[in-house]
Amino acid sequence: MSELPKPVASNALAPADPRDDPWAELRSLTPARIALGRSGASLPTREVLAFGIAHAQARDAVQAALDVDALAAALQPLSLPIIRTQSAAETRSAYLARPDWGRRLSPESRQELDALARSDGPEVLLVIADGLSAVAPQRHASALISALLPQLDGLRIGPLVIATQARVALADEIAESLGARLVVCLIGERPGLSSPDSLGAYLTYAPKVGTTDEARICISNIRPKGCAIGDAATLIAASLRAALATRRSGVALREPSNLLPTSDQKP
């Protein structure tokens, strides 16, 4: 896939001299569009241009295709088998128009997975899905999985599954086919105007077709300027171990506390 330009925050086009913008310090703390100023009755030209760039990046992220070969190559050093699957949506336009097709496997992918099923399925299955932003898994999935796997020592990990034209629920059918106890779906989230490359992780215990969203644990906004890769890996590992131990996930499982150290915690 073609690489998108890096996200441009609104404050990236602010005046160079802070004395020309008394809100500069506040704006530097957030990518949110605050204190934009005005030019007459309208926004300053720099803000109109920044918004246009951000909007174009979000649209491009939705339409971008996942480079499966490049992702598979990035995942190869992890020494896990890699399986490629596709949803019932054959094209991007069909995927966007029919979300239900993105939640079910194509007949060909279902047949291939059924042929790989074993009685002793994996405890944890990792599915990398394009979702609404293929840019996110393309940029962050291999780094996140690399940080996650060392924290899953002792667990039986299944093959890495790459799913295209995929919604979150597609991972349920994939995991059910392979007999996995728990699935982690790493998927590109709907782009925002400051985050076209945000990755989400959805954990589901006992996944099966028809599982609804309250049964999932969600860790979102995984990206360098959001939930950092290392922090996300720690949260995912702690959450999935809690789910395996209690045999539940989502609202039925209280979110694990004290997963990450805080500045006021003593060593």
- pLDDT 10s digits, 189-201: 998 877 889 999 9
Residue at a domain's end among 11, 33, 63: 63
Residue 231: pLDDT band (50, 70, 90) is: very high
Same-domain check for residues 111 and 239: yes
Same-domain check for residues 81 and 56: no
- Taking residues 141-158, report their average pLDDT: 96
Same-domain check for residues 239 and 115: yes
Across all residues in the chain, what is the average pLDDT? 87
Is 59 within a domain?
Answer: yes
Provide the number of structural domains found in the chain: 2
pLDDT at 261 over 90: no
- Taking residues 240-259, report their average pLDDT: 79
Same-domain check for residues 138 and 248: yes
Same-domain check for residues 31 and 100: no
pTM: 0.81
Is 6 within a domain?
Answer: no
pLDDT at 77 over 60: yes
DSSP 63-78: HPPP-HHHHHHHHGGG
Percent of the chain as helix, strand, coil, to the nearest 5? 40, 15, 40
pLDDT at 266 over 50: no
Measure the CA–CA gap between 128 and 138, rounded to whole angstroms: 9
CB 62 within 8 A of CB 133: yes
Residue 140: pLDDT band (50, 70, 90) is: very high
Is 264 within a domain?
Answer: no
Q: Where are the alpha helices (DSSP H) in 149-228?
A: 170-178
DSSP class of residue 39?
A: B
Confidence at residue 263, expressed as pLDDT on a 0 to 100 scale: 46
Same-domain check for residues 74 and 58: no
Which amino acid, residue 15?
P
End-to-end CA separation in angstroms for the chain: 44
- Of residues 11 and 163, the one with the higher pLDDT is 163
Same-domain check for residues 219 and 95: yes
Q: In which domain, by residue range, is 146 found?
A: 68-252
What Rg value do the Cα atoms of the chain yield, rounded? Answer: 20
